[in-house]
Structure 1
Amino acid sequence: MHATRRVILASMAGALALPAAASPGPTRAEVLATMKRATAFMTEKAAVHGGYVWSYLPDFSRRWGELEASPTQVWVQPPGTGTMGHLFLDAYHATGDEAYYAAATQAAECLMAGQLPAGGWNYLIDFGGETAKARWYATIGANAWRMEEFQHDWGNATFDDAGSSEAMQFLLRLYLEKREAKFKPALDRALDFVLNSQYPNGGWPQRWPAGRPFTKHGADYTSYITFNDDVAGENIKFLVMVAQTLGDPRVGPAIRRAMEVFVITQQPAPQAGWGLQHRVDDLTPSAARSYEPRALTTHTTAANVGQLMTFYELTGDPKYLARVPQALDWLAKVALPARRPDGRTHPTFLEIGTDRPLYIHRRGSNVVNGEYYADDNPEKTLAHYSSFRLVKLEELRARYAALKATPRDQAAANSPLTHTGPLPRFFANQDFATSDLNGGGTLAPSKASPEAAAKLVADLNAQGYWPTPLVATSHPYQGPGPAVAAPGDYSQTHVGDAWDTSPYPTDKPVMGISTSAFIKNMGVLISAVDGG
């Protein structure tokens, strides 16, 4: 649960708006040839049934998504198969080369093969079958100490980390390209998945249909109304895309209900914020993973304030702005006394009723003997899940003031809810945070310039990929961890002892193949071909 997109309209605004080359660079033919070779390597060597993971060793002896993957697995979670599909479609738009449309089709067929009966997707697809998937969950997944969402196979689809959302957005784009009938049934099932899983109050669970309650808190937190990692925002974005292009009459009411859940879950002043997830019955915040206590959450509150302001731009309805000042006042009240050296301004978690910061720690060395806990001590907090956040409060206040001064008819003058039309031509290189440590944690586009394009043309190796330092790795599975903690302090590390299969940054990176690097590099070359 790490990926977040900035706002629900990010993909509506157009991407790769980069200036045309103003100084000498590679020829168009050289750029096109480089793109073609790099794509051929990914589709012919890296792909499994048309799908992708996040990184590979050059000999493909090991490969990783968010965790180490088996040779029969592909990743749905970005930057995986759906992101690659978006990239191929972007390349098709820039070049008109049908080979890219074929590559996008292969990615879509992979996703369709892994689409679950309910219409959504899990984090990964295993073409080795149920036995192979069960073996992976019982070994690598079960022993990834900090990766609690992978420790069990819930047997259902997830909205977490934009995997299902990106897959369905990509299928929509691909269907709209040529209206090929073979993509429509999967797209229809995906839309039904979003509509059927929505609660009457407008919220969505993290996973659906309900799975088994595997949490240490004794409740299935995945059934709660989820804001974490922009679950609601991503679903709204998909529904807006459908409204904008297909005009399905069911999506308008669903969007309105979804926007309303942000209003009804905002807690009373003076603690006028939100949690990562909220109970369906009384709409109060709830705990989730063992390092996510029941609390109000500052970065979620800031994100939800941003969404409410976007809803005003979609609808012109002032109710979405009505309680924004209360949330901003609460964020101001709970700010740290001074900005931290890393620039962060707020504690992540605040205790309900007291505004006391809750800082997250752990002890032990692996999933068997380790545990997470919260207290009021800001020292030696987790490295893999920060107890501190950057909240750009003044930017939020400035945006609110500008919208408050904008008449409602002007605010929603260009709303995609009332104006049908085509989607943007480019999607893949957005300002999009991911959990891919080897990709730098973001898919934000690299700087496009003639010099950057020339370097990419020169750096593509003889095999057809861009060698990339793999700055993260993981311990190979070697059995269940011991019940007695290993010597050492693992309180601030990404990984525990040698039995912990969680990914971690390494000071001995090896050169390998990165899906994120491919996407970013192709974005630069697409810009060189398309001229912005």
Structure 2
Amino acid sequence: MSEMRRILRKSLLFGIGSVFLLSLTDDVPGAEVTEAAARKAMQQATNYFTSQVSTEGGYLWKYSQDLKDREGENRAPASRIWVQPPGTPSVGEAFLRAYQQTGEPYLLAAAKAAAMALVNGQLKSGGWNYYIDFADRKAYQYRVNGGGPKARNTTTLDDNTTQAALHFLILLDQELKFQDEPIHEATMYALNALLKAQYPNGGWPQRFDSPPDPEDYPVIKANYPDSWSREFPKKKYLDYYTFNDN
């Protein structure tokens, strides 16, 4: 193992186990943190996250110490996980990166559990909503056990939501050599949906539930109007070409 790889591996170990390591060294000022201690702390942290914190393999943003108060961008019931970062994709990718540096099987299992939470919350439109609620599946057109044609089916690119989920799934799919069928299928489904949702000029909307009609979005030279209102026009902007958070 090269010196740089060794340093990177130890840095990652120390980062993931930091909360537990603080408790281990609080009473021993100046105590050296060894790789063995970091590995032990990382496993403790992972076991706690997967057995006590996660919902169906997924995660929110914040939890109180007793886990009674749970939040994503807002308060959430125990049945809900968040896709928008720093939710499920962020935690899953941390597990994956730790596995790639250590080879510990329990970390890969945790990453796969997070990925399956996303697979089970993928919409028929191809991407993801800000959150997934496992107790309210009929309200959304999830690809797996979702609601009917009148249920919500809007993929959001706002706040890096679908992009973060897809980025994590792509990395994990590659790590698994494209052999995990549900994860690979969800990854390709999302990629194809994003390509179909792309406008003729190369941009994307903030949200979509179906591919755009090219006739409605002709490619024209960029320009500014001679004048424009300084007040919000109160129009729906979800299908506008969007730069923010995309």
Q: Larger Cα Rg: Structure 1 or Structure 2?
A: 1
Work out the CA distance in 2 between the residues paired with 1:117 and 1:45.
30
Work out the CA distance in 1 between the residues paired with 2:9 and 2:155.
40
Counterpart secondary structure, 2:85:
coil
Aligned to 2:239: 223
In the alignment, structure 1 residue 174 sits paired with structure 2 residue 202: no
In the alignment, structure 1 residue 94 sits paired with structure 2 residue 89: no
Aligned to 1:438: none
Work out the CA distance in 2 between the residues paired with 1:118 and 1:132.
14
Which among 45, 48, 70 is matched to residue 55 of structure 2?
A: 48
Work out the CA distance in 2 between the residues paired with 1:55 and 1:171.
23
Contact 1:158–1:207 (8 Å) recurs in 2 = yes
What is the TM-score when the length of structure 1 is the normalising length?
0.34
Q: Which amino acid aligns with 2:154?
A: N
Work out the CA distance in 2 between the residues paired with 1:19 and 1:97.
12
Work out the CA distance in 1 between the residues paired with 2:32 and 2:53.
29
Q: Which amino acid aligns with 1:164?
A: T
What is the deviation of 1:58? Answer: 2.0
Aligned to 2:64: 57
Aligned to 2:131: 124
What is the deviation of 1:154? Answer: 6.2
Moved over 3 A (4+): 17-21, 130-133
Which among 87, 91, 106 is matched to residue 84 of structure 1?
A: 91
Structure 1: runs of 5 or more not aligned: 1-16, 134-152, 211-215, 232-532
Per-residue CA deviation, residues 17-65 of structure 1 (Å, 9 max, x unaligned), is 86978x9832211110000001110111000000000111222222000
Q: How many residue pairs get matched?
A: 189
Q: Which amino acid aligns with 2:132?
A: I
Work out the CA distance in 2 between the residues paired with 1:32 and 1:131.
41
More strand as a share of residues: 1
Q: 1:122 to 1:71 in 2, by over 3 A?
A: same
Per-residue CA deviation, residues 121-176 of structure 1 (Å, 9 max, x unaligned), is 0000000114788xxxxxxxxxxxxxxxxxxx964010011111111111111111
Per-residue CA deviation, residues 354-378 of structure 1 (Å, 9 max, x unaligned), is xxxxxxxxxxxxxxxxxxxxxxxxx
Q: 1:65 to 1:20 in 2, by over 3 A?
A: closer
In the alignment, structure 1 residue 25 sits paired with structure 2 residue 45: no
Per-residue CA deviation, residues 94-113 of structure 1 (Å, 9 max, x unaligned), is 11101000000000000000
Percent same amino acid at aligned positions? 41
What is the deviation of 1:119? Answer: 1.1
Q: 1:201 to 1:167 in 2, by over 3 A?
A: same
Contact 1:77–1:163 (8 Å) recurs in 2 = yes
Q: 1:63 to 1:24 in 2, by over 3 A?
A: closer
Per-residue CA deviation, residues 74-115 of structure 1 (Å, 9 max, x unaligned), is 000000000111100011011110100000000000000000
Q: Which amino acid aligns with 2:170?
A: L
- Supply the RMSD in Å over aligned alpha carbons: 2.4
The 5 A counterparts of 1:101-500 are: 101-130=108-137, 155-179=153-177, 180-182=179-181, 183-209=183-209, 217-229=233-245, 231=246
Per-residue CA deviation, residues 199-232 of structure 1 (Å, 9 max, x unaligned), is 001110000126xxxxx84532010000012x1x
Contact 1:126–1:132 (8 Å) recurs in 2 = no
Counterpart secondary structure, 2:94:
helix
Work out the CA distance in 1 between the residues paired with 2:9 and 2:172.
27
Counterpart secondary structure, 1:222:
coil
Per-residue CA deviation, residues 214-257 of structure 1 (Å, 9 max, x unaligned), is xx84532010000012x1xxxxxxxxxxxxxxxxxxxxxxxxxx
Aligned to 1:291: none
Q: Which amino acid aligns with 1:47?
A: S
Per-residue CA deviation, residues 249-276 of structure 1 (Å, 9 max, x unaligned), is xxxxxxxxxxxxxxxxxxxxxxxxxxxx
More helix as a share of residues: 2
Contact 1:43–1:103 (8 Å) recurs in 2 = yes
Aligned to 2:76: 69
Q: 1:185 to 1:131 in 2, by over 3 A?
A: closer
Q: Which amino acid aligns with 2:125?
A: A
